[in-house]
Amino acid sequence: MDEKEMILNAMKETGEPLNAGKIAELTGLDRKAVDKAMTAMKKEGSIVSPVRCKWEPAQQ
C-alpha cells in the first residue's frame, strides 16, 4: 500500500476531516511524506478541504 492509499484509508476510517499532523499520527508515516503526498492528492482532486487546514476524500 502506498502513502496515498494509507492517507485515504485513514481519512475514511475516521469519517471526519483531518489535518496532516493527525494523518501522520494515525498512519505512522513521516510528516514530510504526508505533506508531499497530500500536495499531489490536492492537485489530482482526490482530497478536498471542507474546513481550513483539514482534508477529507473527495466525493467521486
pLDDT confidence of residue 60:
55
The model carries a pTM of: 0.89
- Residue count of the chain: 60
* Domains of the chain, residue spans: 3-57
User: For residue 13, what is its C-alpha cell?
Assistant: 476510517
Tens-digit pLDDT profile for the chain (60 aa)?
799 999 999 999 999 999 999 999 999 999 999 999 999 999 999 999 999 999 999 985
User: For residue 12, what is its C-alpha cell?
Assistant: 475514511
Using CA atoms, how far apart are residues 52 and 60, in angstroms rounded to an integer?
A: 21
Q: Residue-wise over 41-52: b if at least 16 C-beta within 10 A, else e?
A: beeeebbeeeee
Please name the CATH architecture into which domain 3-57 falls.
Orthogonal Bundle (1.10)
